[in-house]
Amino acid sequence: MAERSREERLQIMLSPDEVTALDDFRFKKRMPSRAAAVRELLKRGLSAEGFATATFGSKSSDFGVTGKALPARR
């Protein structure tokens, strides 16, 4: 098996519902780790036809796994 170099670390924060959705996907697809599940979902999302690009000025809070918007911080 070819070794892959993973030199970049990506840290994200998820809501409890997003973690549940990620874990449900992971276990259903029998993935070895959350990281593997995230990489698979990224691969699928990036390869999807007709995906929308982020508009200028979008905030991180505008995007979520489950489609539920988080309450705005003050």
Tens digits of per-residue pLDDT, 15-73? 999 999 999 999 999 999 999 999 889 888 877 765 656 667 777 777 666 665 555 54
Q: Is 55 exposed, middle or buried (0-12, 13-18, 19+ CB in 10 A)?
A: exposed
DSSP structure class, residue 63: -
Place of tokens 């549940």: 20
Alpha-carbon gap, residue 59 to 20, rounded angstroms: 23
pLDDT score, position 18: 94
Q: Is 12's pLDDT higher than 70? A: yes
| Helix segments in the chain, DSSP class H | 16-28, 34-47
pLDDT score, position 67: 63
